[in-house]
Structure 1
Amino acid sequence: MQKSNARIQVLLQNYFNNLNTETENEELWSHIITSHNDQELMQLFPDAFSDEMDVPENALDATKKQTILNYIYNHHLLQASHQPKTLRLLPKLAAIAAAVALIISGVWFYAGNPVANRNSKIANQNDIKPGKNTATITLPGGSSVQLSDAKSGVVIDASKITYSDGSTLEGDTSSPGLLNGMTTITTPRGGTYQVVLPDGTKVFLNADSKLEFPGKFLGGERRVKLTGEAYFVVVHNSKMPFKVESTGQTVEDIGTEFNINAYADEHSTKTTLVEGSAKVNEVILKPNQQSSLNGTGIKVENVDTELFIAWKNNQFVFEQDDIRYIMRMISRWYNVEIVYLGELPVTTFSGSVSRFANVSEVLRPLESTGQVKFKIEGTKILVSR
């Protein structure tokens, strides 16, 4: 046993410093998954830390040791995923040692005493596939065209609509004057699409969203209306400012890339500025700032913009988010109903996962924390503790 413990200790030390080979990580994993004594394993942690990690004496209580063991388990589980983009609990950490440092310093968030769920299996009768490119465009006269899910976007000008690759739409969308009036592009739950407006501004629409715009911008401004969520890359024109109306606010471009989240089921309307400058009602935003509008007014704070535009890059990213917020994102993208059973975890979760993954691959790392359980029934996801 002592020889075995010494070997595990070496593997742990190399693991914490990212020095193990793939074979050695598998050997460590085999020791962990076959062990029937978590306490014995956790006793090896302090001596496994290198001097460079600078772990203070007596810094590890039982809960933090258990969290580190959970992290090792989860990290292995996620690395074993066959998805093109690897699931990660901490997407910005370059080394496992940094994750351990977070746990030791208390920056790792959890509730109570987390217990690794080593047999995590999402109970399901059928898995649910992710969303896709799909949208409907409604013309001023009221006629609608279902856009191809084999295409990613459309280009609008004053006389015609084409797909972004230059191909034509089915139906009559090229008659002169056809777009004189307001046109609407709508994505369903489980859908996303891109649109290039007549001025060249590019808009990425998230699921369950709607954008209303004129076929031709006239007068002293370019005004559109958004419901849901969209990312805007605006072609700046100081003589004709670009304005986006959404719930309770108007965002004015001053040479800008920004994201607006205006879903009705969220607690506030959030505008996140990536580049340039923008005015939200009367408040000026600078890059890496976000405004939150609710019934009490507008609050502005500095944020990591990557967290809020990850959806545009086909990723879910959550950082210290509660389960209800996470499940709202999942509900919109997978077009599923969320049913909560009993008391919910009060812990927060951090991580990232590809939006191309089936829903079980999104739920599995959450369930593996031991804080929440899921069951898939048709188009419903049951959530319990």
Structure 2
Amino acid sequence: MDKIDHHIRISQLIAREVNYELTREEKLELDNWLNESKENLDLYYSIRNREKFLDWDQQLHQINTVEGWNRFESTIKPHRSIDVFKTVLRYAAVILIPLFLSGIGYYIYNDISNLSQQYTQVNSSKQSKPKARLILADGSKVNLENEENIALKEKDGTLIERDAGSLKYQNKANAKSKVLYNTVEIPNGANYQLCLTDGTKVYLNSMSALKFPTKFSGKTREVQLTGEAYFEVAKDREHPFLVNVSGTRIEVLGTSFNVKAYSDENEIVTTLVEGSVKVNASEIGKSTLLKPGQQAVVDDKRGGILVQDVDVDLFTSWKEGVFLFKAKRLEDIMNELTRWYDLKVFYMNPVVKDLRFGGHFNKDEEIESIMEMFELTRKINVEVNGKTILISAK
């Protein structure tokens, strides 16, 4: 592969990453290029920069793509003493990315409206503080908002180590003591992490709650979930780990998976990252065994379990502080944003609820900036008034 082909190949990889279409092999190829030099890394982040994307978007709605491609070709003539590397990637950001998003062959890019499926990285320097609270066995409540490292102790002797954004349980309880239960509740705009006494790690999303014993006893390890959580279950073949949620039980031995079961949604969604899980929907009398990369959707209204292959990153990115959407209904996107930002959303035209969008946003980004990106698709108008959002069709 010659130099120019290599630069165009990197442009294609960046375009595919923006559109979340990279294969594992392509991601490795792009990562290798990023690790080659600091210049590569700086240029990559420059291309993915939000402010530049907004400028590119305006250019793309004005640009004559035929003339642009001609300029691109003349720029890379071998007799021109220019920095080919930077020039190619600059054109990749303005011209090649929309070309490659739609596949090879779109040298004349006529349908700019396809930008509704453009994926963008939004940068933010703001930090959110966890606002969780812990409810102890006696009903007393501990505010976990402040970040001081303070140790707590339950009545059975269980030690609770408290750190910024996380709790860790250590089983110091008397073997004969009564099993006590704690609950961690997460409000809008916060995530939280805890480590149970068996070593299982749980990441809780906003507006979620987990009830769990301070020590596990008996033949199973059981917890009760409302909302959404990502589990990294400690292996123990003799004691299966059970997640009970709205009439559905997820049984695992040692695995990583995500469960989403908010009370305002009809579905219970289990997404398996690694290992295996068994989903038992007792209320409809059905069960299924999942493999990594599969998802089970329990729908009480339809009376069944839908199993499908999915991109697990789309369902687990929240624990990394990212909103990640791909061809998702606007109403479903806004439901997720509402849980984080505590919003009230009004749709002036009901038809817009079913419009589909993609995006990649930092969860610490201002809601005004996120909604601005949706407006750039030229499909909707958005008005943000504090925590109230009005959405209408273009």
Aligned-partner SS, 1:133: coil
Q: Which moved more, 1:133-142 or 1:226-235?
A: 133-142
CA contact (8 A) 2:213 2:223 kept: yes
Q: Give yes or no for the alignment of 1:41 onto 2:39.
A: no
Letter in 2 for 1:227: T
- In the TM superposition, what is the alpha-carbon distance from 1:323 to its structure 2 partner? 0.8
Matches within 5 A, 1:262-341: 262-281=261-280, 282-295=287-300, 296-341=303-348
CA contact (8 A) 1:159 1:175 kept: yes
Q: Give yes or no for the alignment of 1:363 onto 2:361.
A: no
**What corresponds to 2:157 in structure 1?**
159
Matches within 5 A, 1:1-385: 38=62, 41-44=64-67, 97=96, 99-103=98-102, 114=113, 132-150=129-147, 159-165=157-163, 180-281=179-280, 282-295=287-300, 296-345=303-352, 346-385=354-393
Post-superposition Cα deviations, 1:229-270, rounded to whole Å, max 9, x if no partner, equal 000011111111110011231111131011001112234111
- In the TM superposition, what is the alpha-carbon distance from 1:340 to its structure 2 partner? 1.6
CA contact (8 A) 2:239 2:253 kept: no
Normalising by structure 1, we get a TM-score of 0.67
CA contact (8 A) 1:241 1:254 kept: yes
Distance 2:149 2:96 in 1: 40
Pick closer, same or farther for the CA change 1:139–1:263 going to 2, 3 Å. Answer: same
Distance 1:329 1:130 in 2: 19
Distance 1:28 1:192 in 2: 29
Pick closer, same or farther for the CA change 1:114–1:223 going to 2, 3 Å. Answer: same
Distance 2:112 2:315 in 1: 30
Letter in 2 for 1:290: Q
Report which structure shows greater RCO (CA 8 Å, sep ≥6): 1
The answer for unaligned runs of 5 or more in structure 2 is 1-7, 15-39, 74-89, 117-125, 281-286
Distance 1:179 1:207 in 2: 31
Report the number of matched residues.
309
Post-superposition Cα deviations, 1:286-321, rounded to whole Å, max 9, x if no partner, equal 111111110221111111111110000100000000
Poorly superposed stretches of 4+, deviation over 6 Å:
13-19, 25-32, 151-157, 166-169, 174-179
**What corresponds to 1:122 in structure 2?**
none
Distance 1:321 1:49 in 2: 34
- In the TM superposition, what is the alpha-carbon distance from 1:357 to its structure 2 partner? 1.1
Pick closer, same or farther for the CA change 1:34–1:189 going to 2, 3 Å. Answer: closer
Distance 1:161 1:248 in 2: 31
Post-superposition Cα deviations, 1:73-128, rounded to whole Å, max 9, x if no partner, equal 9x77xxxxxxxxxxxxxxxxxxx746423325799xxxx983989xxxxxxxxxxx
CA contact (8 A) 2:166 2:194 kept: no
**What corresponds to 2:77 in structure 1?**
none
Pick closer, same or farther for the CA change 1:205–1:324 going to 2, 3 Å. Answer: same
Identity percentage of aligned residues: 32
Letter in 2 for 1:307: L
Distance 2:237 2:182 in 1: 24
Distance 1:154 1:136 in 2: 15
Letter in 1 for 2:316: I
Larger proportion of helix: 2
Distance 2:212 2:237 in 1: 19
Distance 1:275 1:257 in 2: 5
